[in-house]
A = this chain, B = another copy of it.
Amino acid sequence: MVSRIKDQAFNHSRVMEYMHHLADENGPRLAASPGYQRAAQWAVDTLSKDGIESARIEKFGDFGRSWTWSGISVQMIEPQATTLNAVPLAWSSGTDGLITAPVVFAPLWENPRDTAQTDLVKLAERIDAYKNQYAGKLKDKIVLLSGKRPFKLPSEPETQRWSADDLNGMMSARDPRTEDLYEWPLLKVPFKTADRWLMYEMIPAEIQSDYSDRTARLMNRLIEFLNKEQVAAVAMTNTEGNGAVIFAESFGSNLASGPIPAAAVQLMPEHYNRLVRLVQRKVPVSLSIKVDATFPELNAKGKNVIADLPGGSKRREVVMMGAHLDSWHGGTGATDNAAGVAVVMEAMRILKTLDLELDRTVRLGLWDAEEVGHLGSRAYVKEHLGDPRTMKLKSAHETFSVYFNIDTGSGKTRGILTQGNDMVKPIFIELMKPFEEHGISAAVPRNDWGTDHQAFDAVGLPSFNLLQDQLDYWSHTHHSNVDTVDHIVPQDLMVSAAFMASLVYHAAIRDELMPREPLPPPLPKPQPLPEILQD
Contacts and interface: CB of A to CB of B under 8 A. Distances in A.
Interface of A: 20, 24-27, 35, 69-73, 75, 79-83, 85, 149, 151, 153-159, 243-245, 268-271, 273-274, 277-278, 281, 283, 292, 331-332, 471-472, 476, 481-482, 484-487, 489
B151 A155 contact: no
Nearest to A476: B244
Contacts of A155: 157, 159
Contacts of A157: 154-157
A513 B487 CA distance: 55
A244 B158 CA distance: 13
B154 A158 contact: yes
A153 B281 contact: no
Contact of A35 (B71, B80, B153, B476): B80
Contacts of A273: 484-486
Contacts of A80: 25-27, 35
Contacts of A486: 149, 151, 243, 269-270, 273-274
Given A20-B277, A71-B82, 15 more contacts: A24-B283, A25-B79, A26-B80, A27-B80, A70-B82, A149-B486, A151-B487, A154-B159, A154-B472, A155-B157, A243-B476, A244-B245, A270-B482, A273-B485, A274-B485
A445 B75 CA distance: 48
Contacts of A71: 75, 81-83
A292 B149 CA distance: 29
30 contacts: A24-B274, A24-B278, A24-B283, A25-B79, A25-B80, A27-B80, A35-B80, A70-B81, A70-B82, A71-B82, A73-B73, A151-B486, A151-B487, A153-B158, A153-B472, A153-B487, A154-B159, A155-B157, A156-B157, A157-B157, A158-B158, A244-B245, A244-B482, A269-B486, A270-B486, A270-B487, A273-B485, A274-B484, A274-B486, A277-B485
B243 A482 contact: yes
A250 to B, nearest CB: 17
A16 to B, nearest CB: 10
A472 B152 CA distance: 11
A20 B24 CA distance: 40
B83 A73 contact: yes
Contact of A85 (B69, B79, B85, B243): B85
Contacts of A489: 153
Contacts of A85: 85, 481
Contacts of A476: 243-244
Contact of A281 (B20, B70, B83, B243): B20
Nearest to A88: B83
Contacts of A292: 81
A37 to B, nearest CB: 13
A151 B24 CA distance: 16
A438 to B, nearest CB: 18
A342 to B, nearest CB: 15
Contacts of A331: 270
A292 to B, nearest CB: 8
A470 B25 CA distance: 39
B24 A243 contact: no
Contacts of A278: 24-25
A75 B71 CA distance: 7
Contacts of A481: 85, 270
A90 to B, nearest CB: 14
A481 B243 CA distance: 11
Contacts of A81: 70-71, 292
Contacts of A274: 24, 332, 484-486
Nearest to A161: B155
A69 to B, nearest CB: 8
Nearest to A281: B20
Contacts of A268: 482
A80 B25 CA distance: 7
Contacts of A149: 486
Of A80, A149, A244, chain B has the most CB atoms within 10 Å of the CB of A244
A153 B158 CA distance: 8
Nearest to A411: B153
A287 to B, nearest CB: 12
A327 to B, nearest CB: 13
A489 B152 CA distance: 10
A72 B69 CA distance: 19
A154 B281 CA distance: 36
A471 B268 CA distance: 20
A82 B329 CA distance: 10
A268 B244 CA distance: 10
